C-alpha cells in the first residue's frame, strides 16, 4: 500500500522537506485552497502542487478534498453548474497525475468537535467531542461557534441552511447524492481517478442535520448507486469508529475485498461511556479501535491504495493546525509501517 501524508500547501507550517524524511513516505495529499468552492480549480495551481511535491521527491496523487457545495447537496439552482465545474476539476487534476479524489457529503459542517486542545494525562493535547459541551445548544436559536466550523457563514446563513436540510431530509439528501454520483463517476472512470467518499464525522445526526455516510447499510447503498470501482470509500477508521456499532476491522475487510476502498485514514479514537469521544494516540491500547486488526484486514485482502495517519495529537510543544502537526502524525506513520511490515504487507 502507498504511504501518504496530508499537506496544506505553502501555508502549512509542516514542510515537504520534513514530510519526505518520514520513513516510507511516498505521496502527498493536498488540495487547491485559494478557489471559492463550486468554481473550477485553475490548472496552474494544480501544476504548482505537483511540481513542488516532485521537487521534494514526493508524488501529489491524492486530492483531499474537492468540496461538494451546499448547492449540490441541497439540489439548489446552482447544482448543475457546480457539478459541471466539479467534473472539470477532476479532469484537470488527472492531467497532473492525481489518481484519487477524496470528498464528503456532510451537510453544512465537516467534522464536529467541541474542543481542539484538550490536555491529556501525558500533557499532549487533542481534539474531542464532549456531549456535555454540546448540551442545550440550539443552532436555530443560539449563536454557536464550535471550533473548526466554517466561519464564512453568518449565524443567519447557518440557520437557513439547517432549515433547508431539515426540509430536504435523509431521502432528499440521497437523491442529491445519486444525482452527483451519476454525473461525476463516469468522468472519474474516463480519467482513471478513484472517487473516495469520507464518512460523516461523527457518523450520526448533529443538530438534526441529515447524515447518511455513517454505517454498513448506508455504505452499501452509497456504493450501489453507481456500481463502479471509481465509486469508492475513503474509509476513515476514526470517523466511523466513534459509533460503537461500526465494527471497523470487519468493514475494512469487507470493502477492501470488494476493491471499494480508495484511501484509508488510519487513526484511533477513544469512545467514552456516554459516546463522547477523544482523538487518541494511534496505538491500539490508547483508544477503542484494534489498529492491528485493521491493518491485518488490509494486508490480507491485498489493499494497494493509499493510507495516511489521520489526525495526530499535539506533542513536544509543537504548535500549528490542530490535528495536523508533524510529530504525532509522523509517529502514527511509523507505527502503521510497523504493523504493515509485521503483517507481511508491503509499503510501496
Ligand atoms: Mn478522516
Confidence of residue 151 (pLDDT cuts 50, 70, 90): low
Q: Which residues contact 147 (CB under 8 A, 6 or more apart)?
A: 113, 114, 115, 116, 322
The string of pLDDT tens digits covering residues 159-176 is 888 889 999 999 999 999
Predicted local confidence at residue 343, as pLDDT:
98
Q: Distance from the CA of 266 to the center of ligand 1, in angstroms? A: 8
Residues assigned a catalytic role: 198, 236, 265, 310-311, 324
Domains delineated in the chain = 2-342 (3.20.20.150)
Confidence of residue 156 (pLDDT cuts 50, 70, 90): confident
Predicted local confidence at residue 150, as pLDDT:
65
Query: What is the average per-residue pLDDT within 126-152?
Result: 79
The string of pLDDT tens digits covering residues 325-337 is 999 999 999 999 9
pTM: 0.95
Sheet holding 125-129, edge to edge: 115-119, 125-129, 277-278, 270-271
Residues with CB under 5 A from ligand 1 (ion): 236, 265, 310
Predicted local confidence at residue 252, as pLDDT:
98
What CA–CA distance (Å, rounded) separates 103 from 196? 6
Q: Distance from the CA of 235 to the center of ligand 1, in angstroms? A: 8
Amino acid at each position: 500500500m502507498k504511504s501518504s501524508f496530508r499537506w496544506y500547501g505553502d501555508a502549512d507550517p509542516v514542510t515537504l522537506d520534513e514530510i519526505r524524511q518520514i520513513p516510507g513516505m511516498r505521496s502527498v495529499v493536498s488540495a487547491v485552497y485559494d478557489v471559492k468552492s463550486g468554481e473550477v480549480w485553475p490548472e496552474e495551481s494544480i501544476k504548482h502542487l505537483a511540481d513542488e511535491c516532485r521537487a521534494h521527491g514526493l508524488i501529489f496523487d491524492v486530492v483531499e478534498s474537492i468540496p461538494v457545495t451546499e448547492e449540490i447537496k441541497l439540489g439548489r439552482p446552482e447544482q448543475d453548474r457546480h457539478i459541471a465545474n466539479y467534473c472539470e476539476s477532476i479532469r484537470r487534476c488527472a492531467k497532473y497525475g492525481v489518481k484519487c479524489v477524496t470528498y464528503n457529503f456532510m451537510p453544512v459542517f465537516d467534522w464536529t468537535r467541541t474542543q481542539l486542545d484538550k490536555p491529556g494525562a501525558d500533557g499532549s493535547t487533542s481534539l474531542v467531542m464532549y456531549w456535555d459541551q454540546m448540551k442545550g445548544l440550539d443552532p436555530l436559536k443560539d449563536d454557536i461557534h464550535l471550533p473548526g466550523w466554517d466561519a464564512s457563514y453568518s449565524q443567519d446563513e447557518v440557520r437557513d441552511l439547517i432549515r433547508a436540510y431539515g426540509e430536504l431530509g435523509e431521502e432528499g439528501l440521497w437523491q442529491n447524492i445519486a444525482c452527483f454520483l451519476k454525473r461525476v463517476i463516469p468522468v472519474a472512470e474516463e480519467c482513471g481517478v478513484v472517487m473516495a467518499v469520507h464518512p460523516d464525522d461523527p457518523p450520526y445526526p448533529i443538530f438534526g442535520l441529515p447524515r447518511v455516510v455513517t454505517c454498513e447499510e448506508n455504505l452499501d447503498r452509497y456504493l450501489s448507486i453507481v456500481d463502479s470501482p471509481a465509486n469508492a470509500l475513503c474509509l476513515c477508521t476514526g470517523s466511523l469508529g466513534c459509533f460503537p456499532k461500526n465494527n471497523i476491522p470487519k468493514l475494512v475487510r469487507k470493502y477492501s475485498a470488494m476493491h471499494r476502498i480508495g484511501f484509508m485514514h488510519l487513526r484511533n479514537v477513544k469512545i467514552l461511556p456516554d459516546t463522547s469521544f477523544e482523538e487518541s494516540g494511534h496505538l491500539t491500547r490508547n483508544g477503542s479501535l484494534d489498529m492491528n486488526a485493521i491493518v491485518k484486514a488490509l494486508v490480507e485482502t491485498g489493499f494497494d491504495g493509499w493510507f495516511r495517519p489521520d489526525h495526530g495529537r499535539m506533542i513536544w510543544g509543537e504548535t500549528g493546525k490542530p490535528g495536523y502537526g508533524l510529530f504525532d502524525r509522523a509517529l502514527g506513520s511509523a507505527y502503521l509501517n510497523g504493523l504493515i511490515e509485521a503483517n507481511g504487507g508491503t509499503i510501496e
